[in-house]
Chain A
Amino acid sequence: MGGMKKEKSSSTSTSPCAHLRSDYQRCFNRWYSEKFLKGEWEKEECVSEWDKYRACLAQHLKDDHLIRLLQPESHSDISVNDSQ
């Protein structure tokens, strides 16, 4: 009947980040309801929570597809092209 199968070993690949993830999610949820939905969208928040969580994901993500989608570290968002 085959050997013992490891049950969910691969499923918890990012679990070392669980703590940082919930800090970030808590911050995000609050920001979304209390700021974003009320029209305060000029400023990004939860930046330090995000940076720590993102760094952890960069270390622990295994899947190639997902690594490619992870936001690059340098937070130089040049979204506004103020050409004049």
Chain B
Amino acid sequence: MVKAYTQEHVYKHPWERVTSASWRKFTDPENKRILSHILDVDTLNHRLDPLSGNLYTTRAITVHAPGPWFLRRILGQDICHCVESAVVDPRSRSMQVTTRNVSLERFVEVEERSWYEPHREEPERWTVCRQETSIRIKPLSALASMAEKVEQRCAERFLQNSAKGREVMERICKYLESEANGISL
């Protein structure tokens, strides 16, 4: 069983500002209240390719995902570790971020891919973010009857969280904009 969702959002901010905001999304303390499902974000690896200018990073994201009681019982935990890999190509102005769960992968695989690119019509002013989420529940016979429910819950949570994520991104972009305009701290 695989479910896939595609979302698209246009930020009315230039690519440079939007990608700067994306680094701050999970780490600025003022977003903790809205993104309360994110417990910890740690950078595990970063590399800058001096020739191409590409930046590669790997981060660990610890998510609090409380499910219904039966899920917690099966899984034995309600936190989930995800790994996020990002590539930023500053020459072509593109950023790609892939997030995947590394815990509970025996039961469920969630992968989210996001692309940030300049908007086709307003490349200097706007940025498009495309997001593809796929959720695959592993075919475990014991879980078969619950799988549908789990998948549904998982999907709902993802969609809710990406709406919250956009809200936070918009706010950071505004903040960075006012900072750039000299109305700084």
Interface of B is mostly: strand
CB pair B20 A14 closer than 8 Å = no
Once the chains are docked, how many angstroms separate the CA of A11 from the CA of B16? 32
Residue of B nearest to A77 (CB): B47
A4 at the interface (CB under 8 A from B): no
Q: How many residues of B contact A (CB 8 A)?
A: 33
Task: Identify B79's interface contact among A11, A43, A66, A70, CB under 8 A.
Answer: A11
CB pair A42 B50 closer than 8 Å = yes
Once the chains are docked, how many angstroms separate the CA of A11 from the CA of B77? 10
B148 at the interface (CB under 8 A from A): no
Smallest CB separation, A42 vs chain B (Å): 5
Binding site for A on B (CB under 8 A): 16, 19-20, 23-24, 27, 39-40, 42-51, 53, 55, 58, 60, 62, 64, 77, 79, 81, 83, 88, 90, 102-103, 176
Q: A11-B40, A36-B48 are in contact. List 16 more A-B contacts (CB 8 A).
A: A8-B39, A8-B64, A13-B62, A15-B40, A25-B27, A28-B46, A29-B24, A36-B88, A37-B19, A39-B90, A63-B60, A65-B83, A66-B102, A69-B58, A69-B83, A70-B45
